[in-house]
Amino acid sequence: MSISIGIHDLSFATGEFVLEHTTLARHNGTQIGKYHVGIGQESMSVPAADEDIVTLGAAAAAPVIARHGTSRIRTVLFATESSIDQAKSAGVYVHSLIGLPSQTRVVELKQACYGATAALQFAIGLVRRDPAQQVLVIASDVSKYELDSPGEATQGAAAVAMLVGVNPALMRIEDPSGLFTADVMDFWRPNYRDAALVDGEESINAYLQALEGAWKDYTEQDGRSPQEFAAFCYHQPFTKMATKAHRHLLNYCGQDTDHDAVNAAIGLTTAYNRVIGNSYTASVYLGLAALLDQADDLTGRPVGFLSYGSGSVAEFFTGVPAAGYRDHLRTEANRAAISRRTPLSYAQYRSLHERSLPTDGGDHATPAQTTGPFRLSGISGHKRIYKTC
């Protein structure tokens, strides 16, 4: 008899500050409709000077630990494409900050925005091998592009923490998965750059190609038909991409592609990404949080997931909300994480954007800005120093 494995809990955190797209538009003279309608973005989270993927990841994970404890967690999988170290996993810092036991494996995963889905699937495999254990999956990223570049308006920052185990309270993850990989240079960030490089048109085309390939593989393994899904959660580098993706899938499947059909499938999933911006690995799971927080009861109704990571790798899979899942949601906390952000002027945003950590190996304190539970207090001897607030 197969066991039910999936997402037992989900929590997210985002940056201290927010830049409204109206503020960005006033600076660069862009018509606001290009942002609000063209890419489907209203604002973007901006990390404080003392926030990074570690502090965001720990802030997302802490409520999960507070609710469930640490006794069953044997593995932490930290997914990011904003890595702070080429050797040490960012998850090891989080392991310390949230008080996990030493009898834990910790590893960092990378494949652009797809990494968190790889972590989720690997976690399911570990739990299937040993149903007594739970796996903590953390997806944490800061999306950064050059000032006045086409990608600037899609920036964002967030982390999602998911506890994976048997008899999940939120969502059971089904087999099969549809997979697709192609060697494409649509988006990349060499080690010597802080800001990513992107070929916008090529990236959209690569995304849609990967969606088509992953869906084809899913159906060839006797996956569900499009009509069976209550909703679809897509990776959202900008929320309008979810619209493009679902319309492409419906067209590929010979289904109705009108506005109402698309909005019914993806409309609720864009609420958090629309105001947070692109959070890379966390994006598709912010879509899930937004869906579960807003939708009528989805118990037993399949939800489709398309996870895409540039370069490119994609996976299509299905999750089914568990009976009573609404009793375990963090809707109030999720909305508070967004509403608590402090608005920035353009000058303040630019100052944070241009800031970088010293590389001379000296002792450097970091300005105290975050009101979150963890902060990067400084850097000394090329070592990052984190503290609990």
Helix (H, G, I), strand (E, B) or coil at 219: helix
Output the six-digit token pair for 254: 């010979």
Instruction: Using CA atoms of 209, 211, 217, 221 in order, give the dihedral in degrees to the nearest 10.
Output: -160
Q: Name which of 295, 307, 356, 336 is nearest 139 in CA terms.
A: 307
Radius of gyration in angstroms for the set of CA atoms belonging to the chain, rounded to a whole number: 20
Beta pairing class for 73-79 and 43-46:
unpaired
| DSSP state letter for 34 | I
CA distance 287 to 273: 7
Catalytic residues: 81, 113, 235
Instruction: Using CA atoms of 296, 124, 138, 310 in order, give the dihedral in degrees to the nearest 10.
Output: -90
Chain CA centroid to CA 312, Å: 17
Angle, vertex CA 105, rays to CA 102 and CA 110, nearest 5: 140
Residue 384 amino acid letter:
R
Question: Under a CB-based contact definition with an 8 Å cutoff, are residues 367 and 379 in contact?
Answer: no
